[in-house]
Amino acid sequence: MSIERAASRLAAGEYVESINGVKLHFKVSGSGPVCILQTPGWGPEVAMYRELSGFEDVFTMVYLDTRGSGGSERPHDSTFTFENLAADVDELRKFLRADRVVAMGHSFAGVLTLEYALRYPQATSGLVLIDAVVAEVEEAQVDRRKRIAKMEGHPWLPDAMEALGAYLNGYVPGSDEEFARLVARILPLYFVDQSIMQRFSQEVTEAVWSHDAYRGSLNLKLHDLRPRLDEIEAPAVIAVGSEDFICGPIQAQWLHGGLKNSVVVEIDGVGHFPWLEASDEFFSRTKRNLKELAIL
């Protein structure tokens, strides 16, 4: 695709720009305060988040392929650090000429979003944390196992668990295509409504899943960020699906308990992608709380 640079740096369009020493791909759409949504850093591209366009009526959404992902450059594995990923976002903010931004992150991108807020507090006007993780500790693992046990009897469970086991036990994909196939096998675990999962799985198989980003992300060791949450002044909306097995309500409550100014939006009966399984409720409740916290 030919990507042209617009006269206005917040004009709608797709761009590839040299930011912080690496070529980054991002898409701009919508109107309102600038909100940067970055991918989780371990492989998926921003196309996977196209249905978060429901925020474009309240935010100028900037969808960023983190280094190594999607249309962004794939630099050396050693460059995958929390410091560099946070700097990428802040240099993009400066490029866009935005004084402050709302930082949005889903799943492991929640960690990246928190790291950004900790490193660049003066540039962070608010946080939107969607099924975000803050600590990978034994209590979280116990909660995960209990939630998986409730899925017993589903015909897809053995294959999904085999793929998840490979993923959690040192599997490193050899190609983007191989990586996409593995993710598609794991995907049923992340949904309550399997019909929605089937629709989304088509997007998964068609998307770019960067095996280079995955390999580089192995450098990103998740520490327990809970002790540092009270350093974050920015208000935060924490949205979570009640049935999310991987980054569920336990993570949301840890975030809420540690952040100074936050609210939890728990969506009943959905999994890791609440904006797909309960779109109307997710967007209406999240936007209402964004206004109440004066993020909007």
pLDDT the model gives residue 168: 83
pLDDT, tens only, 214-262? 999 999 988 899 999 999 999 999 999 999 999 999 999 999 999 999 9
pTM of the predicted model as reported, rounded to 2 decimal places = 0.96
pLDDT the model gives residue 4: 40
Rounded Cα distance between 184 and 283, Å, is: 26
Q: Which helix (H) or strand (E) holds 102?
A: strand 101-106
CA nearest 109: which of 76, 51, 167, 65? 65
pLDDT the model gives residue 138: 95
Domains annotated for the chain, with CATH where assigned, are: 1-296 (3.40.50.1820)
What the block records as the tokens of 175 is 């190609």
DSSP β-ladder status, 124-130 and 262-267: unpaired
Is the separation of the CB atoms in 36 and 102 below 8 Å? yes
Rounded Cα distance between 252 and 237, Å, is: 10
Tell me the chain's radius of gyration from C-alpha atoms. Answer: 18
pLDDT the model gives residue 217: 95
Intervals of the chain under pLDDT 70: 1-8
Helices and strands (H, E) in the chain, number of each type: 10, 8
DSSP per residue, 104-149: EEETTHHHHHHHHHHH-GGGEEEEEEES------HHHHHHHHHHHH
pLDDT the model gives residue 223: 81
CB atoms within 10 A of CB 170: 7
What the block records as the tokens of 271 is 């999994």
